[in-house]
């Protein structure tokens, strides 16, 4: 029987014999690729939407607060990507040994292919987090009472940043223990929306808001909207992780969907999608103007949901019949759904710009 150390040595040797596909790039560009920065844009867009919602309900919009809140959300997600590269290294190594080279699992694969040593990813994550703390200090120093980084918003942001690091980082390693899907959904959509909204409110108050004051500034309709974004995002995350079920099982990653399997993941996708529809309908009942938001989103989301359901059904049938599950035909689905969810906050912003407050 081959030991773990021998397997790792074999992988290292085989990797070293290959020339990294990124060898011709500059170091700075490769560090950019390692952070997978284009894949971090969805959460900042939801944060911008949170700022816009505040503007439509209370106004005016403070541009510095908009840029700062959005930038901090972006930086947090970039730091998470770097940390994921480091903490996922063992799992990615196992997949690289046992799976074919087309496997979607494994982030950027730049540590596995030898572009960088593993510690580079951890250094980058730490550097980005340090820069976030510097931004907080500079804002509080320069803006004083007008800084949005005080009171409940500051602690909410720090708590969210800490929780996000537990996605694959120790001690919780949520993505290895069935909690990754929920925490990532919270961090991508409802968390940034609320953070952007409260950041504008904190700047307008020119002091730190208490938890009670922060809660009082949100309408019941906004709370339902946050629940809708969570259900909407959960459906996407379940679908995205379904593509990695086979590799996650090989890597001994006990994600929620890898434990459930393809059939029950399909049922979970249907449930969260139906929940999003019900919450959307509740928004319309609360404020008829929200119908504009939900109608536009449904126009392109429902056909995509049908496509996803059909693709998951194909995988579930293979699993149910004991046949090898081939995810190659599923490869076109995750990019389509990612584009859908990335466009959604932009679409909602445009509708609000035309129709005004739809979440009163």
Predicted confidence (pLDDT) per residue in 257-295, tens digit:
999 999 999 999 999 999 999 999 999 988 888 888 899
pLDDT > 70? residue 3: no
Distance CA 344, CA 235 (A): 14
CATH code for the domain in which residue 88 is found: 1.10.357.140
Which of 168, 199, 217 finishes a domain?
Answer: 217
Q: Are residues 208 and 227 in the same domain?
A: no
- Same domain assignment for residues 262 and 210: no
Q: What φ, ψ does residue 190 adopt, rounded to 5°?
A: -60, -35
pTM over 0.75: yes
Q: For 173-203, write each residue's pLDDT tens digit.
A: 988 988 999 999 999 999 999 999 999 999 9
Same-domain check for residues 172 and 250: no
Smallest CA-to-CA distance from 76 within 126, 34, 128, 114 is with: 128
Asked whether residue 16 is assigned to any structural domain, the reply reads no
Same domain assignment for residues 213 and 313:
no
Could you give the number of structural domains in the chain?
A: 2
Query: For residue 255, what are the domain limits?
Result: 219-360
Higher pLDDT pick, 346 / 104: 346
Q: Taking CA 238 as the corner, what is the angle to CA 44 and CA 129, rounded to the nearest 5 degrees?
A: 35
Shared-domain flag, residues 126 and 232: no
Residues 242/240/78/340 CA torsion (nearest 10 deg): 180
Note whether residue 202 is domain-resident. yes
How would you classify residue 176: left for phi > 0, otherwise alpha for psi between -120 and 50, otherwise beta? Answer: alpha
Distance separating alpha carbons of residues 329 and 256, to the nearest angstrom: 22
- Any domain includes 2: no
What is the percent of the chain with per-residue pLDDT over 70, rounded to a whole number? Answer: 92
pLDDT higher than threshold 90 for residue 19: no
Domain end (from 217, 248, 265): 217
Domain boundary, last residue among 186, 217, 248: 217
Structure token digits, residue 188: 């991508």
């Amino acid at each position: 029987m081959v030991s773990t150390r021998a397997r790792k040595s074999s992988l290292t040797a085989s990797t070293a014999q290959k020339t990294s596909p990124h060898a011709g790039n500059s170091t700075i560009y490769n560090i950019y690729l390692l952070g997978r920065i284009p894949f971090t844009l969805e959460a900042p867009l939801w944060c911008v939407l949170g700022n816009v919602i505040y503007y439509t309900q209370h106004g005016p919009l403070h541009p510095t607060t908009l840029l700062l809140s959005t930038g901090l959300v972006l930086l947090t997600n970039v730091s998470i990507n770097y940390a994921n590269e480091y903490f996922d290294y063992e799992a990615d190594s196992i997949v690289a040994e046992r799976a074919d080279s087309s496997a979607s699992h494994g982030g950027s694969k730049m540590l596995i292919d030898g572009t960088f040593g593993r510690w580079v990813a951890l250094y980058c994550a730490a550097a980005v987090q340090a820069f976030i703390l510097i931004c907080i200090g500079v804002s509080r120093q320069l803006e004083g009472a007008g800084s949005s980084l005080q009171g409940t918003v500051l602690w909410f942001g720090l708590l969210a940043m800490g929780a996000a690091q537990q996605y694959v980082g120790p001690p919780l390693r949520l993505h290895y223990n069935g909690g990754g899907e929920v925490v990532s959904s919270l961090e991508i959509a409802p968390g940034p929306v609320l953070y952007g909204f409260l950041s504008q409110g904190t700047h307008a108050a020119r002091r730190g808001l208490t938890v009670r004051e922060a809660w009082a500034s949100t309408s019941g309709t906004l709370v339902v909207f946050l629940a809708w974004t969570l259900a909407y995002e959960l459906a996407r995350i379940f679908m995205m992780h379904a593509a990695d079920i086979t590799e996650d099982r090989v890597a001994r990653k006990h994600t929620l969907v890898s434990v459930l399997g393809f059939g029950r993941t399909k049922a979970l996708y249907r449930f969260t999608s139906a929940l999003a529809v019900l919450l959307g309908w509740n928004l319309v009942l609360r404020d008829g103007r929200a119908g504009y938001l939900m109608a536009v989103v449904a126009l392109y989301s429902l056909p995509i949901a049908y496509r996803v359901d059909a693709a998951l059904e194909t995988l579930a049938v293979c699993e149910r019949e004991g046949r090898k599950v081939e995810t190659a035909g599923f490869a076109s689905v995750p990019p389509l759904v990612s584009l859908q969810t990335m466009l959604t906050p932009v679409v909602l912003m445009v509708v609000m710009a035309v129709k005004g407050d739809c979440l009163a």
